[in-house]
Amino acid sequence: MRAWIPGKAGFQYVIVDRSTDIVYALFGGVTGKGHTVEVIDGSRCNARNTSHCRPVATIGVGKFPIGESVDPANHTLYVANNYADTVSIVNTARCNAKRTSGCGQRPRTVRVGPGPNVTGIDFARHTLYVPNVGPGGSGGNTGGDGTTVSMINTATCNASRHDGCRSPAPTANGVASPFGVTVASGSVYAWNGDGTTSMINTATCNAVVRTSCKKAKLTATIGSNAGPGDFNLRTHTVYVANEDDDTVSVLNARTCNARRQSGCAPVARTITTGELPAAVLADPETGTLYIPNQIDNTVSVLNGNACDASHSFGCRRVAPSVPESEFLLTADPATNTIYAGNGLHPRIDVFDGASCRAGHISGCTPVATIPTPDPLANVGAIDSATHTLYASDEATAGTVMVINTAACNAHHTAGCGTKPHLIKVGAFPNAPVFNPATKTMYVSFGLMGNRIAVFNAVTCNATNTSGCGQKPAIIKVATGTFNLGVSVTTNTVYASNTFGPGTDTVDVINGATCNGTNHAGCGHIVAIAKVGTFPEGIAVNDASHTVYVGNNGNGDVPGSVSIINSATCNGTHTAGCRRRFPTVATGRGPIQLAVDTRTSNVYMTGFSNAAVTIIIGARCNAAVTSCRHATRSQPVGSQPFGIAVNPRKRTVYVAHVFQTGSMSVFGASGD
């Protein structure tokens, strides 16, 4: 049986007063009118009885109500008004399903910190904890820099008693833009915007006693955009939803709390959810977790007993990782070397693929480093004939580095300290690609990513730099073109238009007439292929005549990969570019792709679902498009970005950009 409850646009939160069986639902978007609480009779609107599933009354509260807590003992509903920086105090004894006379009265408010969010009550110490995300609040994604949790005395500030309603309310410090709080085991867990949790000791930091309120304890790393959470008292487990990872993190409240941190692992265990989990509700009687997912419009019903404070067999099996902060990666199978642009320091890290591989990550420390002008180097293609790695500096230098891989690799590091030769390109160059057939290097650049520079690599490589001062040909492409792919077989360049008009196309460029020595065709895009929204990474497999394009959708829709037949959609044959291309479903937020040349499998990072999607290339390509059962998922760390495959050692490397970053290392699939 299903029933729908009518309400206003801008639904935010719902809570049940179990003492009266009344449902209070928050409504009111950031710019909309009518910021209200809708009162619903739970006795006549539930799974067994839907006879009266409509609001019986409406309560006017502050702008953008986003969090609420109920204190049944005091007949009080507390509503955090995110854009008003207040908490409304509603008398539930006078405003419920049976009595609505008090619903029309404007509730009293208490001023709290900027951007109050999802609240929690410590009933033992009569304190409502209100996290303050910062100026602007979370509703418009303009908040931040909130460092406090406000505290309201629920014994003296409630629906019938107001003498303790201090305004502004006192605060606890030391948190970081907390999205929400969960009260458990004598601790307040504040879910911070940076993906960590800070913990407050409720015995020494509450509305009355504030001896330890100056600094909260920072503990485990959770996940991207964490909160809100819930607590299962029976298993002593705290759960928190990670909205941008499609996961729920798990903490042991007995060994990871404000008084004891011995059980606070550097990174908490996680459970896979649906897409964009909004919250988590833990049922202590059955151990079941209920997680509403905002993008796929589902509710995940999970066995919390399989992944809790004492059990881990039901948790995500995350690939092993090392604490190396990397951005984009490139593998050179010829020398068994991995090159990675460091995310924090101005250098490219050099890894030995023999000692840093699947099953052996103890050797995953750089054997050498290459100096760069800035961090976050866009390492790109390697010309194996001239032993040249092309990597761009995305910052103000606007250059492409020419690196000698014969003098700097896993086995010969003497030349790594030499500053690379620089090619002047233009502001904000992206990862270069290389066509060995025409000896041409292509690199997109520009603040809006609307141009591609075309260089003759014959006279600009690691051993011959005489032509590196050349004036390149320029291809004008759609705004927001960052990622490029090259088909050597058809001599074609594919450019995904990530943020351009329509944000759903790939430009097709004829490399035969637009290369390092022939610029005749550089002024003309031969075809425009329509793919999914916000296309990002491109991977080309000439063996199967397939171009794979990751459709990111800005992380706001289910992810997918479009499959283009490069035999019928290329620089000289464009008839197949006008068709509707088949797609395969992937994890949310596809960002970068890499092909394993040994197996033809495609590996794609899901920036918004903390996983790598593996597409079995033999069963999902331009000729075989029934891809429904041709994908797998490998869980990795938060916000995976760059990816590289070393077919020589059958190893996949994944860079995570979350917080200070890490790198996952796992085995490449054999089929």
Residue 254 has pLDDT above 60, yes or no: yes
Q: What is the DSSP letter of 669?
A: P
Of all residues in the chain, the percent with pLDDT exceeding 90 is: 75
Query: Pick from 218, 199, 221, 182: which is nearest to 318 by CA?
Result: 221
- The angle at the Cα of 389, spanning 385 to 392, to the nearest 5 degrees, equals 145
- Residue 594 tokens read as 């890499």
- pLDDT interval class at 216 (50, 70, 90): confident
Q: Is the peptide bond before 228 cis (omega within 30 degrees of 0)?
A: yes
Spatial strand order of the sheet with 535-541 comes to: 535-541, 546-551, 560-565, 583-585
- Residue 638 tokens read as 């938060």
What is each CA distance from 347 to 25, 413, 417, in whole angstroms? 52, 14, 10
- Residue 239 tokens read as 């759960």
Over residues 319-334, the mean pLDDT reads 96
pLDDT at 583: 95
Residue 32 has pLDDT above 60, yes or no: no
Over residues 325-332, the mean pLDDT reads 97
Which domains does the chain carry?
A: 229-316 (no CATH), 324-470 (2.130.10.10), 477-635 (2.130.10.10)
Residues 82-135 have pLDDT tens digits of: 999 999 999 999 998 889 989 988 999 999 999 999 999 999 999 999 999 988
pLDDT at 137: 57
Residues 43-67 have pLDDT tens digits of: 888 778 777 788 889 999 999 898 8
The residue ranking higher by pLDDT, 4 or 252, is 252
With the CA atoms of 228, 607, 293 and 33 taken in that order, what torsion angle do they form, in degrees rounded to the nearest 10? 70
Residue 396 has pLDDT above 70, yes or no: no
Residue 172 β-bridge partners: 149
Mean pLDDT across the chain:
91
Residues 356-381 have pLDDT tens digits of: 999 999 999 999 999 999 999 999 99
pTM of the model: 0.92
Residues 451-485 have pLDDT tens digits of: 999 999 999 999 999 999 999 999 999 889 999 99
CB 38 within 8 A of CB 55: yes
- pLDDT interval class at 1 (50, 70, 90): very low
- pLDDT interval class at 671 (50, 70, 90): low
**Contacts within 8 Å (CB) and 24+ apart, 494-499:** 494/529, 494/538, 494/540, 494/547, 494/549, 494/564, 495/444, 495/452, 495/538, 496/531, 496/535, 496/536, 496/537, 496/538, 496/549, 497/535, 498/449, 498/534, 498/535, 498/536, 498/552, 499/448, 499/449, 499/534
pLDDT at 86: 96
CB 613 within 8 A of CB 588: no
- pLDDT interval class at 145 (50, 70, 90): low
Residue 661 has pLDDT above 60, yes or no: yes
